[in-house]
Amino acid sequence: MIRIGTNREPVTVTLRPPYGDVTVTLKRLTTSHYGEAQQAAQAILRNDAELLNLLVKHDLLPEGGVKAWKRMKDKDVMAYAAFLSGIGVWLGAVECAVRGISEWTGILGEDGKPAAVEREIIETLMLDEALSHQITTQLDQAARILFVEGER
């Protein structure tokens, strides 16, 4: 069976426990959105100043702080590549979520009020591996529907 039209409407999903009180409304990302997300993540990884700011902001530096990061970058290429690989996975998830999440419920800010869908909040949320996995899985499922229907 071939479908003639595509459903580009966002989808709202309830996440699985322990995040069952969180709903996320997701845009249906296309192949070009995923490409843009990966390019944005790679651009951050190539920009030492921007990358370092993110690492400091989210406490992601290796033990020993900036000096250890610089030493690893300059003297231990394999360790640095492994480190960047992990950071790259996180950044890829962040960039997809920035493009794909249009709204959410059940996510509160420090003041106890609903948190706005903003990049900084998404960066922090996507550090939780289980939450990141659920969101990226849902983004992927929403996108697959478009791909099946012929929208790329």
Would you call 77 helix, strand, or coil by DSSP?
helix
* Domain map (residue ranges) of the chain: 12-145
Contacting residues for 3 by C-beta, under 8 A, at least 6 apart: 148, 149, 150
CA 126, 99, 91, 117 torsion-angle sign? negative
- How far apart, in whole angstroms, are the C-alpha atoms of residue 100 and residue 139? 7
The pLDDT profile of the chain, 152 residues, written as one tens digit per residue, is 545 456 678 989 999 999 999 999 999 888 889 999 999 999 999 999 999 999 999 999 999 999 999 999 999 999 999 999 999 999 999 999 999 999 999 999 999 999 999 999 999 999 999 999 999 999 988 777 655 555 55
- How far apart, in whole angstroms, are the C-alpha atoms of residue 52 and residue 58? 10
pTM for this predicted structure: 0.86
Amino acid at 117: V
pLDDT tens digits for range 80-116: 999 999 999 999 999 999 999 999 999 999 999 999 9
- How far apart, in whole angstroms, are the C-alpha atoms of residue 53 and residue 129? 21
